[in-house]
Structure 1
Amino acid sequence: MKSEIAAPATHFRVQLSSTRRGARLARLLVERQLDDWGLAPTDPTSAALVAITAELSANAITHGRSPGRDFAVRLLRSTDHLRVEVSDTRPDRLPAMPPARPPEHAVTGRGLLLVDAFADQWGCEARAPYIKTVWAEVSRRVGCDLDETAHPRHQQHVIL
């Protein structure tokens, strides 16, 4: 009898409600998926991707929200980098590229500066008439060896 071993997941996708709870869940699910792929939450690469996810998800629910529409988070891994994508339903609201510095005493407006600092590269694209995707890539750091066979339970798309 021939046994088949499932190929390890190279991506993870989740669709969430455009709420603060949805944004928080996006961050937690990305952190969990990275851990399942063998990248500990304390690893600098994981911390960068989680921070980027938190910011892009917060932006999606704040600036990209359409009533009754969800946002999506996609995490992809390759041999040399990891990529997070956050899609929302407001392609008419594109982020400033490069992000502008807010006034010194402003309490908001620094999120994309964090994305710019943590990501090796990032950008935004309209993928359909009603969908905008903001993405960021982080290179695998020296010593970042993702376990290609870790936790096969998350090998399919997850849609909540």
Structure 2
Amino acid sequence: MKSAITPVHEFAMRFTSTPRGARLARRLVSHRLNDWGHPYDSPVSETLTLIAAELTANAVRHGHVPGRDFDLRLTLTGGDTFRIEVTDTRTEKQPSRTPPSPDAEAESGRGLLLVAALADDWGVTPRASAPGKTVWAELLQPPRR
């Protein structure tokens, strides 16, 4: 469910649906968080950068439609909730809220398990006004001391 709270900070950008686009998105998330006062080595930055890496890699690998890009949106609300959204144009491949455990020998298939473990909440919503979907994750910022 999308928050009705106006973001304190917001970053949104479209990326090519390629491994290079996913890497760039991940790097820009960490840079933006640093600009917002969350240094690169902080738990918030490390966690959100990992979530961004998994969601963008999935958009490229499972949500790619030739000639179509993916969108990334990162927000921080006044309630100290970070939300990352990755939107692709493939409707028919919907991730499950309870991803199956991959085979122990598998080299992939753990991305959404990581997202579920790291995020306070996550889900999938239909893309607004076009084919596709948005996979989102939220992280509550711990109180600052």
Partner secondary structure for residue 94 of structure 2: coil
The match for 2:138 is 137
What amino acid sits opposite 1:119 in the alignment?
A: A
Offset of residue 35 of structure 1: 0.5
Identity of aligned residues (%): 48
The match for 2:11 is 12
Structure 2 stretches of 5 or more lacking a match? 1-6
Offset of residue 105 of structure 1: 1.0
The match for 1:57 is 56
Structure 1 residues 104-132: Cα deviation after superposition (integer angstroms, max 9, x where no partner): 11111001010001100000011234121
The match for 2:89 is 89
Instruction: State the aligned residue count.
Output: 137
Rounded Cα–Cα distance in structure 1 between residues aligned with 2:80 and 2:11: 17
**Higher RCO (C-alpha 8 Å, min separation 6):** 1
Change (3 A) 1:38 1:120: same
What amino acid sits opposite 1:90 in the alignment?
A: R
Offset of residue 42 of structure 1: 0.8
TM-score by length of 1: 0.82
The match for 1:111 is 111
Rounded Cα–Cα distance in structure 2 between residues aligned with 1:96 and 1:131: 15
Rounded Cα–Cα distance in structure 2 between residues aligned with 1:111 and 1:11: 24
What amino acid sits opposite 2:118 in the alignment?
A: F
Partner secondary structure for residue 46 of structure 1: helix
Task: Answer yes or no: is 1:24 the counterpart of 2:23.
Answer: yes
CA contact (8 A) 1:90 1:130 kept: yes
Rounded Cα–Cα distance in structure 1 between residues aligned with 2:34 and 2:24: 15
Structure 1 residues 28-67: Cα deviation after superposition (integer angstroms, max 9, x where no partner): 0000110110111111111110000000000000000000
CA contact (8 A) 1:124 1:134 kept: yes
Task: Answer yes or no: is 1:72 the counterpart of 2:71.
Answer: yes
The match for 1:151 is none
Rounded Cα–Cα distance in structure 2 between residues aligned with 1:57 and 1:9: 23
TM-score by length of 2: 0.90
CA contact (8 A) 1:91 1:129 kept: no
Structure 1 segments of 4+ aligned residues over 3 angstroms from their partners: none
Rounded Cα–Cα distance in structure 2 between residues aligned with 1:77 and 1:117: 20
Structure 1 stretches of 5 or more lacking a match? 1-7, 145-160
What amino acid sits opposite 2:25 in the alignment?
A: A
Aligned alpha-carbon RMSD (Å): 1.4
| CA radius of gyration, larger in | 1
Partner secondary structure for residue 104 of structure 2: coil
